[in-house]
Amino acid sequence: MAVATRRTQGLTDKQLHYCPGCTHGIIHRLVAEAIEELGVLEKTVGVCPVGCAVFAYEYFNCDMIEAAHGRAPAVATGVKRVLPESVVFTYQGDGDLAAIGTAETVHVASRGEKITTVFVNNAVYGMTGGQMAPTTLLGQKTTTTPFGRQADVAGFPLRVAELVATIEGAAYITRVAVNTPKNILRAKKAILKAFNVQIQGLGFSLVEVLSTCPTNWGLSPPEALRWLKEKMIPAYPLGEFKAPEGGV
Amino acid sequence: MTQVFFDTERCKGCELCVTVCPKKIIKLSAGEINSFGFHPAVLTDGEKCTGCKFCFLICPDTAVTVIKEEGGNGKSTDEGQ
Amino acid sequence: MEKVLMKGNEAFGEGAVRAGCRHFFGYPITPQSELPHYLARRLPEVGGVYLQAESEVAAINMVYGAAAAGARVMTSSSSPGISLMQEGISYIACAELPCVVVNIMRGGPGLGNIAASQADYFQAVKGGGHGDYRLPVLAPASVQEVIDLVVTAFDLADKYRNPVMVVGDGILGQMMEPVKLGPPPEVTTPPKPWATTGTLGRKSRNIINSLYIEPEELEKVNLRLQSKYRRMEEEEKRWEEYHATDAEVVIVAFGMVARIAKAVVDKMRKAGIPVGLIRPVTLYPFPDQPLVAGSSGPVKAFLVAEMNAGQMLEDVRLALCGRRPVHFYGRTGGMLTSVAEVEGKVREIWEGLK
Residue range(s) defining the domain that contains residue C312: 239-353
CATH classification of the domain holding A213: 3.40.50.970
Q: Which of C200, C235, C270 is the last residue of a domain?
A: C235
CA dist C163 to B66, C22, C69, C213, C284, Å?
50, 16, 15, 23, 12
Please judge whether C58 and A68 are an interchain contact, meaning their C-beta atoms are less than 8 angstroms apart.
no
pLDDT band at B71 (very low <50, low <70, confident <90, very high): low
Classified as helix, coil or strand, C137 is strand
The pLDDT of C245-272, averaged and rounded, is 97
Classified as helix, coil or strand, C170 is helix
Select the more confidently predicted residue: C322 or B2: C322
Chain A touched by C200 (CB under 8 Å) = yes
CATH classification of the domain holding C300: 3.40.50.920
Burial class (CB in 10 A: 0-12, 13-18, 19+), C30: middle
**Closest by alpha carbon to A193, among A236, A239, A237, A247?**
A247
The whole-angstrom separation of Cα A176 and Cα A174 is 7
How confident is the model over C201-225, as pLDDT tens digits? Answer: 999 999 999 999 999 999 999 999 9
Q: Which helix (H) or strand (E) holds A151?
A: helix A151-154
* Interface A:B, Cβ pairs < 8 A: 97
The whole-angstrom separation of Cα C278 and Cα C249 is 11
List, in sequence order, every beta strand (DSSP E) within C13-151. Answer: 23-26, 49-52, 73-77, 99-105, 137-138
In a domain, A19, yes or no: no
How confident is the model over A135-192, as pLDDT tens digits? Answer: 999 999 999 999 999 999 999 999 999 999 999 999 999 999 999 999 999 999 999 9
The pLDDT of C44-73, averaged and rounded, is 98
In a domain, B76, yes or no: no
The whole-angstrom separation of Cα A19 and Cα C251 is 63
Select the more confidently predicted residue: B22 or C354: B22
Instruction: Note whether C101 and C162 are same-domain residues.
Output: yes
Chain C touched by A135 (CB under 8 Å) = no
In a domain, B81, yes or no: no
pLDDT at B68: 87
CA distance to partner chain A, nearest, from residue B78 (Å): 5
How confident is the model over C309-333, as pLDDT tens digits? Answer: 999 999 999 999 999 999 999 999 9
Quote the number of domains for chain A.
1
**Most C CBs within 10 Å: which of A71, A100, A114, as the mutation test of the C interface?**
A71
Please judge whether C198 and A79 are an interchain contact, meaning their C-beta atoms are less than 8 angstroms apart.
no
ipTM: 0.97
Please judge whether B61 and A16 are an interchain contact, meaning their C-beta atoms are less than 8 angstroms apart.
yes
**Most A CBs within 10 Å: which of B20, B58, B64, B68, as the mutation test of the A interface?**
B58
Instruction: Note whether C261 and C159 are same-domain residues.
Output: no
Quote the number of domains for chain B.
1
The pLDDT of C249-261, averaged and rounded, is 98
Residue C16 has pLDDT above 60, yes or no: yes
> Which residue of A lies nearest to B61 if distances are taken between CA atoms?
A25
- A96-115 residues touching C, CB cutoff 8 A: 103-104, 106-107
Quote the number of domains for chain C.
2
Residue range(s) defining the domain that contains residue B43: 2-68
Q: How far is CA B46 from the centre of its chain?
A: 10
Please judge whether A86 and C49 are an interchain contact, meaning their C-beta atoms are less than 8 angstroms apart.
no
In a domain, B78, yes or no: no
Select the more confidently predicted residue: B40 or B78: B40
How confident is the model over A194-231, as pLDDT tens digits? Answer: 999 999 999 999 999 999 999 999 999 999 999 999 99
> Which residue of C lies nearest to A62 if distances are taken between CA atoms?
C205
CA distance to partner chain A, nearest, from residue C60 (Å): 8
Please judge whether C207 and A44 are an interchain contact, meaning their C-beta atoms are less than 8 angstroms apart.
no
Query: What's the mean pLDDT when you consider all of chain B?
Result: 88
CATH classification of the domain holding B11: 3.30.70.20
The whole-angstrom separation of Cα C226 and Cα C223 is 5
Residue C336 has pLDDT above 90, yes or no: yes
- C38-57 residues touching A, CB cutoff 8 A: 49, 51, 53-55, 57
Q: Which amino acid is at C60?
A: I
Q: Which of C235, C267, C299 is the last residue of a domain?
A: C235
CATH classification of the domain holding C129: 3.40.50.970
The pLDDT of C296-306, averaged and rounded, is 95
* Range with lowest mean pLDDT among A24-28, A197-201, B2-6, C89-93: B2-6
The whole-angstrom separation of Cα A30 and Cα A11 is 10
In a domain, A57, yes or no: yes
pLDDT band at B80 (very low <50, low <70, confident <90, very high): very low
Report the percent of chain C where pLDDT is more than 90: 95
Residue B79 has pLDDT above 60, yes or no: no
With touching defined as 3+ CB pairs under 8 A, do chains C and A touch?
yes
In a domain, B21, yes or no: yes
Residue B74 has pLDDT above 80, yes or no: no
Chain A touched by B28 (CB under 8 Å) = no
The whole-angstrom separation of Cα A64 and Cα A47 is 6
Contacts of C208 in chain A (CB under 8 A): 64-66
Q: Which of C235, C268, C286 is the last residue of a domain?
A: C235
Around Cβ B34, how many Cβ atoms within 10 Å?
Answer: 16
Rounded (5°) CA angle C85-C87-C89: 70
Q: Which of C23, C65, C205 sits opposite A64 (nearest CB)?
A: C205
Residue range(s) defining the domain that contains residue A189: 24-242
In a domain, A117, yes or no: yes
Please judge whether B10 and A25 are an interchain contact, meaning their C-beta atoms are less than 8 angstroms apart.
no
pLDDT at B1: 79
Instruction: Note whether C194 and C271 are same-domain residues.
Output: no
In a domain, A100, yes or no: yes
Q: Which amino acid is at C325?
A: P
**Most A CBs within 10 Å: which of C23, C27, C60, C62, as the mutation test of the A interface?**
C62
Residue C55 has pLDDT above 50, yes or no: yes
pLDDT at A2: 76
CA distance to partner chain B, nearest, from residue A175 (Å): 18
**Closest by alpha carbon to A194, among A167, A176, A168, A212?**
A176
Q: Which helix (H) or strand (E) holds C76?
A: strand C73-77
Classified as helix, coil or strand, A240 is strand
The pLDDT of C96-114, averaged and rounded, is 97
pLDDT at A1: 62
The whole-angstrom separation of Cα C301 and Cα C323 is 9
Query: Interface partners of A (3+ CB pairs, < 8 Å)?
Result: B, C
Instruction: Note whether C126 and C69 are same-domain residues.
Output: yes
CA dist A85 to A34, A115, C44, Å?
18, 11, 18
